[in-house]
Structure 1
Amino acid sequence: MTLTALNTAATPTHSFPIRVYYEDTDAGGIVYYANYLKFAERARTEMLRDAGFHHTAMMAGDGIMMAVRRVSAEYLKPARLDDALDVTTSVKGLGAATIELDQSIQRGGQELCRVAVTIACVGRDGRPARLPATLRQALSTQIQS
């Protein structure tokens, strides 16, 4: 199977809800800093899935994988046990083999954490690979300035 999916109904900013569970927190009931990156990863995966691009299909059909090349996080306020969070993801730019995304983790509209991430497209051999044309086309319509 090759990449052919294109969801033209995709919105420029993808939103993904997450609940904070006990396993996400430290002894004080505050989300452990590394778990914000896990929340962001889940949201990125679901953004791609909602656009019609599944990691298993990309690997099986085209031998393409997505790997984090660079990430930075700014922690603004703590999330706590049982909080209902929303992770928004916006496409900021596309390179030959990369996708640049901005993500925001919020609680009730209040920003708790900002994440900037560059995702690299790599082949089975781990070397950089061009973004598939269908993925590029789907994401290019979503670029936020």
Structure 2
Amino acid sequence: MRAQNGVEPFAHRCRVYYEDTDAGGVVYYVNYLKFMERARTERLRDLGFAQSQLAQQNTLFVVHSSEARYHAPARLDDELRVTAQVLELNRASLRFVQQVWRESDATLLCEGQFLVACVRADTFKPRAIPPELRAAFVEAGSPGIHSNAGD
């Protein structure tokens, strides 16, 4: 999937393990949320920001709300490509749009949107996204990004 501005969305690759599947041999629905969480974490790491580093700076990201649509099942040993694209960059939150694709046949398996809030690690109260992280998202040219001044 290529964005309108020609920039490919960030993608994290992973494989389906036995522990990810249900008794029928297909990925249990909640595990798609785990795959997407990992892709968001890897996107931050790709920009130079580890979750552990942010926590030391009294900054955490927590999922405020999520929405997912399931299209086709993934199965044991499938290689997956999980995208993480920032759709909105607000003062204290990010809205990600994400997709999970099976690599072997380029089938869209699941897609969703996640509103992720930036909070203080000590109080869990909202806080502004650190300026250097905000700048990294803007500089990376996240496809489709819309920046809003306030939440």
TM-score (norm 1): 0.89
* 2:118 maps to 1:121: yes
- Code of the residue aligned with 2:51 in structure 1: it is H
Q: Quick check: 2:9–2:142 contact (8 Å CA) kept in 1?
A: no
Partner of 2:93: 98
* 2:109 maps to 1:112: yes
CA distance in 2 between partners of 1:83 and 1:12 (Å): 22
| Larger mean Cα displacement after TM superposition, 91-100 or 133-142 | 133-142
Partner of 1:83: 78
What is the identity percentage for the equivalent residue pairs of Structure 1 and Structure 2? 43
Displacement of 1:42 in angstroms is 0.6
Q: Quick check: 1:93–1:143 contact (8 Å CA) kept in 2?
A: no
CA distance in 2 between partners of 1:21 and 1:12 (Å): 27
Partner of 1:36: 32
Question: After the TM superposition, which segments of 4 or more aligned residues of structure 1 sit over 3 Å from their partners?
Answer: none
Partner of 1:5: none
CA distance in 2 between partners of 1:96 and 1:74 (Å): 27
CA distance in 2 between partners of 1:135 and 1:59 (Å): 13
Partner of 2:148: none
Structure 2 residue runs of 5 or longer lacking an equivalent are: 1-6, 145-151
Cα RMSD between the aligned structures?
A: 1.1
CA distance in 1 between partners of 2:44 and 2:117 (Å): 14
Structure 1 residue runs of 5 or longer lacking an equivalent are: 1-10
CA distance in 2 between partners of 1:71 and 1:129 (Å): 20
CA distance in 2 between partners of 1:50 and 1:95 (Å): 20
Partner of 2:53: 57
- Code of the residue aligned with 2:114 in structure 1: it is V
Q: Deviations over 1:18-75 (max 9, x none)?
A: 1000000000100000000000001110010010001111111x20001001110000
Other structure's SS at 1:38 match: helix
